């Protein structure tokens, strides 16, 4: 492979560009627009760069990851087993952007442009830490409980950091951050928004308050805590789906089932599933708006009660009981979509439901609803747009990189984790922070988030893109110069290996499946 041999001392790589020392030994850091003047022995405003005896250094070590090969034992995720100390194998090493340093001002080549040979193809990985002014977090919170009305403001420590967006199936969604909160409001709002995003992306717990509604504590990969109560179950489905799934199992044990749900409450005898099974009408009519037979909208207001409604007395959903159809002794089950709330009633002589002990056959099906609920989790998805400095750090003609990503010729990873690339213009990515190494994120007080990002492609393509070929360094050289002081972790086998061949359908077909 024809590569430049003119690479410099990698340990001082961040000091090669622009940092200036004056007579007092103060260094000006130009790794971001803040341009801190850093005294000897001190670090800059973001605590990411420091003045080490006149040399500008990145305070966190570069993260190198190494694939665990089969013969060395079972594969384990990041940090569950320490690197065993054996020499790094170039063919199994991936240089991540964690601790790599940023590419600012924009014209600078990325801190590490690493060549390696994989599957008989010469590859290049451009490694950097992006400064993202346009970034935010999509929070998926697995709960039926109503956190707040759509578009409601979301606050952290008294500042608005985002809003409630459209709910998904079994999950409430919050959209936090974004350039407007980071840059368009008060300094305090921008700072707290940045701190909130940083904490969430680095897997820390954050307390959020939805305007006029719930308080929720979220942490990536952990159960959300809504108004002080830890959520346990993500619902099996909406009320209608729950009726459909369990209709056959209820048959013969109850005469009527109502599954209470904030969005679609289901009623067995009216539902198509009940009709197909020959379950007779019960004369029960629910409150709310009947969308289709056995499927009711708006049976109550949203809340933190049964099925994400404000219902605490489930019998309140029964509007009428037709005496010409119902009968004394009729057996009625009311349940939530998680099975956490359920009562069993029998109609008395005056056709009033009387709560009774739930027969074991019915309780078994309620338990099965619970068994089919997944554990409630909070998911933190970081979303950002790759701006000018990032792209210019890869190539002198940034549109070429944008096109190669859009055409799925270049593979984008963040700390080695696969990303979803939004279709259309620009390079807009989304990544699950739990697939990234721990503490992969930093910040600068502009304010903006700093996150690792890597672009991997064949070297022939990199040349075509007008990449910074003179700055390419072999991975062997990175290992030789930096492995003593680098942070080394096992490659997460949950993530696809960035050097696997690009399929004829492009990396999207396997990265984003």
Phi, psi of 392 (to 5 degrees): -70, -25
In the complex with ligand SF4, which residue's Cβ is closer, 34 or 55? 34
In the complex with ligand SF4, which residue's Cβ is closer, 99 or 302? 99
Which spans of this chain sit near ligand SF4 (rule: CB under 6 A)? 29, 31-32, 34-36, 44-46, 48-49, 444-445
Q: Min. distance of Cβ 29 from ligand SF4 in angstroms?
A: 3
Q: Min. distance of Cβ 435 from ligand SF4 in angstroms?
A: 26
Q: Min. distance of Cβ 398 from ligand SF4 in angstroms?
A: 22
Q: Min. distance of Cβ 104 from ligand SF4 in angstroms?
A: 8
In the complex with ligand SF4, which residue's Cβ is closer, 36 or 366? 36
In the complex with ligand SF4, which residue's Cβ is closer, 111 or 339? 111
Contacts of 342 (CB under 8 A, 6+ apart): 333, 334, 335, 336, 358, 366
Residue 466 to residues 334, 400, 463: CA-CA distances in angstroms? Answer: 66, 8, 5
Q: Are 395 and 455 in contact (CB under 8 A)?
A: no
Which helix (H) or strand (E) is 351 found in, with range? none
In the complex with ligand SF4, which residue's Cβ is closer, 35 or 363? 35
In the complex with ligand SF4, which residue's Cβ is closer, 31 or 141? 31
In the complex with ligand SF4, which residue's Cβ is closer, 27 or 254? 27
Q: Min. distance of Cβ 105 from ligand SF4 in angstroms?
A: 11
**Structure tokens, 35:** 């341009």
Q: Min. distance of Cβ 444 from ligand SF4 in angstroms?
A: 5
Q: Are 100 and 76 in contact (CB under 8 A)?
A: no
Phi, psi of 333 (to 5 degrees): -115, 130
Give the DSSP per-residue string, 331-343: EEEEEETTSSSEE
Q: Min. distance of Cβ 34 from ligand SF4 in angstroms?
A: 4
Give the 3-state secondary structure of residue 443: strand
Which is it for strands 135-142 and 171-177: parallel, antiparallel or unpaired?
antiparallel
Closest residue to bound ligand SF4 by CB: 44
In the complex with ligand SF4, which residue's Cβ is closer, 445 or 458? 445
Q: Min. distance of Cβ 159 from ligand SF4 in angstroms?
A: 21
Q: Min. distance of Cβ 3 from ligand SF4 in angstroms?
A: 29
Give the 3-state secondary structure of residue 247: helix
Measured distance CA(33)–CA(29) in Å, rounded: 9
- 274-278 contacts, C-beta under 8 A, 24 or more apart: 274/243, 274/247, 277/247, 277/248, 277/251
Phi, psi of 316 (to 5 degrees): -65, -15
Measured distance CA(94)–CA(407) in Å, rounded: 23
In the complex with ligand SF4, which residue's Cβ is closer, 135 or 226? 135
**Structure tokens, 176:** 């936090």
Q: In what order do the strands lie in the sheet with 265-267?
A: 289-292, 295-297, 265-267, 256-260, 331-336, 342-347, 353-356
């Amino acid at each position: 492979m024809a590569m430049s041999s003119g690479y410099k001392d990698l340990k001082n790589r961040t000091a090669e560009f622009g940092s200036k020392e004056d007579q007092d030994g103060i260094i000006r850091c130009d790794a971001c627009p803040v341009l801190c003047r850093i005294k000897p022995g001190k670090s800059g405003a973001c605590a990411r760069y420091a003045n080490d005896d006149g040399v500008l250094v990145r305070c966190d070590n570069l993260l190198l990851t190494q694939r665990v090969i089969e013969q060395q034992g079972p594969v384990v995720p990041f940090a569950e087993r320490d690197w065993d100390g054996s020499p790094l194998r170039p063919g199994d090493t991936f240089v991540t952007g964690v601790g790599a340093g940023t590419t600012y001002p924009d014209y600078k080549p990325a801190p590490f442009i690493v060549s390696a040979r994989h599957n008989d193809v010469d590859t290049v990985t451009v490694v950097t830490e992006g400064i993202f002014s346009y970034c935010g977090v999509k929070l998926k919170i697995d709960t039926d409980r109503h956190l707040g009305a759509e578009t409601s403001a979301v606050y952290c420590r008294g500042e608005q950091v985002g809003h409630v967006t459209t709910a998904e199936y079994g999950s409430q969604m919050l959209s936090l951050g974004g350039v407007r909160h980071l840059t368009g409001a008060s300094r305090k709002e921008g700072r707290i928004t940045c701190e909130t995003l940083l904490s969430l992306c680095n897997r820390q717990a954050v307390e959020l308050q939805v305007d006029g509604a719930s308080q929720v504590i979220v942490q990536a990969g952990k159960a959300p805590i809504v108004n002080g109560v830890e959520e346990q179950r993500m619902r099996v489905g909406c009320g209608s789906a729950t009726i459909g799934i369990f209709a056959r199992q209820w048959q013969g044990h109850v005469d009527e089932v109502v599954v209470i749900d904030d969005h679609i409450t289901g009623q067995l005898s009216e539902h198509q599933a009940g009709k197909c099974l020959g379950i007779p009408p019960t004369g029960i009519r629910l409150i709310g708006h009947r969308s289709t037979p056995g499927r009711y909208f708006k049976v109550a207001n949203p809340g933190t009660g049964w099925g994400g409604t404000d219902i605490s007395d489930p019998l309140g959903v029964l509007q009428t009981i037709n005496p010409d159809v119902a009968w004394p002794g009729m057996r009625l089950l009311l349940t939530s979509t998680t099975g956490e709330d359920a009562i069993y009633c029998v109609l008395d002589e005056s056709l009033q439901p009387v709560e009774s002990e739930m027969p074991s056959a019915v309780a078994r099906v309620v338990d099965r609803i619970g068994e089919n609920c997944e554990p409630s989790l909070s998911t933190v998805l970081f979303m950002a747009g790759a701006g000018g400095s990032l792209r210019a750090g890869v190539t002198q003609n940034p549109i070429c990189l944008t096109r190669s990503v859009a055409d799925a010729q270049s593979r984008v990873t963040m700390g080695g984790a696969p990303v979803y690339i939004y279709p259309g213009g620009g390079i807009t990515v989304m990544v699950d922070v739990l697939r990234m190494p721990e503490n992969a994120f930093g910040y600068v007080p502009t304010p903006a988030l700093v996150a690792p990002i890597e672009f991997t492609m064949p070297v022939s393509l990199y040349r075509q893109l007008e990449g910074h070929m003179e700055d390419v360094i072999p991975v062997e050289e990175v290992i030789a110069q930096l492995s003593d002081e680098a942070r080394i972790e096992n490659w997460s086998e949950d993530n696809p290996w960035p050097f696997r061949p690009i399929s004829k359908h492009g990396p999207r077909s396997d990265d984003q499946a």
